[in-house]
Structure 1
């Protein structure tokens, strides 16, 4: 990890890994999980994609990594207690998505990346950001991927204790983050790899299968034996050695992005 580059892109912290050959190359942008690994640096260590001949720029999610409040995740946990959907899940995806255009422009200014189509990758809640980019923007994308992704936000809300008290505003918000319903837009934009751990939450596994079926021939499912939801051990903030299950995910993602970079 000696070649890791860290910086800020329009206020968004990032960890960048250059291609092995160095120099100008295509770009893959990622958004990390809120489970471990829960920072851009930790996500880069868990899924470095060293075999992909591209720059991998891992963007930090709100209030994570360099943007933690007082050096901890406590402020984020307080938002969960306040309102798990509107203050936390929806709010984080909305902010990360809205930050993306300026962050992308800043990355292009700072690093020797090609000006062609990019790849996008998201893990868990970061997957919802990647899927929004695929479904709702016209940014040229050569391929996308999600790992244990937040594909239907209702399923994610249901993982938290208690019955969520939906009203008109929160119903609109949660429905806006149902990417099975946006499968046609995703299919029109780029090919998609959906990585699903066989030990992930059953509802998230079901959503992964539903998204692949809805996107159709432009989507593929990679089911990873033994993988639960996280990709790293707790606390998941600092870079850590790659776990065996993360290595399997990394290999699948690397093959996927390499294939589409070469037009296969």
Structure 2
């Protein structure tokens, strides 16, 4: 097992895990949670997928990890308090999506990855980024996966406040991050939906709705006893893999291994 490689791709911090073999290999890109693990390095430690013959490049979300303000999450927390949707959730997903094409080109320039379709993986709010790559871009994707994902952003908003004051602008933003409604385009690639049976009930229901909407283009992997987070707090630095995260990791590895083989 090779040591992680850290760097930046068009300004986006990353932690890259090389495949065991030499030469160009396929690429899987991930986006982490805002819960633990809440940095690219911590997410790489929680879900390394070490047995895959592919590069796993874990990208940092805005205002997380090395992009934290003054070395803490306080500024991001303040945005959540100011306006959970329009100051935090929506702009974070929008920025991560918009900066991805340049980051992908930089990754290809820096690392010996092949030029074929990529895999995408996201956890929690990072799941919304992975789903938006599928729904709103033309980036070729051979398979995707999400873990305890923000599938309908309204459900996430409700976790913070049950009476969010929606207006036309925020309604439009929330609609853009309703991926059950976008199942028709998300289904361009097979999708694994990993859902902890102890996750927030609304997020769990959204996961089941997405699988139902996607039909045969998706699979559900339910993890008994898994709540929302995949690592212990504070979740910023790499930490030993928890047993439940290891179970998620095994499911993701099996899923991507299968679709890598199908992609040739």
Relative to the length of structure 2, the TM-score reads: 0.98
Tell me the distance in 1 between the aligned counterparts of 2:231 and 2:238. Answer: 9
Find the residue that maps to 1:126 and give its secondary structure. helix
The aligned counterpart of 1:141 is 141
Which position in structure 1 is the counterpart of 2:189?
190
Give the superposed CA RMSD.
Answer: 0.9
**C-alpha separation in 1, matches of 2:77 and 2:206:** 25
User: Hey, what's the Cα distance between the residues in 2 that align with 1:62 and 1:164?
Assistant: 23
Q: Match of 1:52, SS?
A: coil
Asked if structure 1 preserves the Cα contact closer than 8 Å seen for 2:152 and 2:179, the reply is: yes
Q: Deviations over 1:69-118 (max 9, x none)?
A: 00000000110111000000001000000010000000000000000000
- What's the counterpart of residue 202 of structure 2? 203
Moved over 6 A (4+): none
What CA distance in whole angstroms lies between the structure 1 residues aligned with 2:162 and 2:252? Answer: 35
Q: Show the 5 A alignment for 1:1-264.
A: 3-187=3-187, 189-263=188-262
Distance 2:215 2:42 in 1: 32
| Residues in 1 aligned to 2:22 and 2:174: alpha-carbon distance in whole angstroms | 42
Contact 2:195/2:220, CA 8 A, preserved across alignment: yes
How many pairs does the alignment contain?
263
Task: Give the C-alpha shift of residue 120 in structure 1.
Answer: 0.1
Unpaired runs of 5+ in structure 1?
none
3-state SS of 1:262 partner: helix
CA deviation string 1:211-254 (max 9, x = no partner) = 00101101000000110000000000000000000000000000
- SS state at 2:51 partner: coil
Q: TM-score, normalised by structure 1?
A: 0.98
Secondary structure of 2:221 counterpart: strand
Q: Deviations over 1:158-205 (max 9, x none)?
A: 001341000010000011100000000011x20000000010000000
Deviation of 1:67 after TM superposition, in Å, equals 0.3
CA distance in 2, matches of 1:138, 1:89: 23
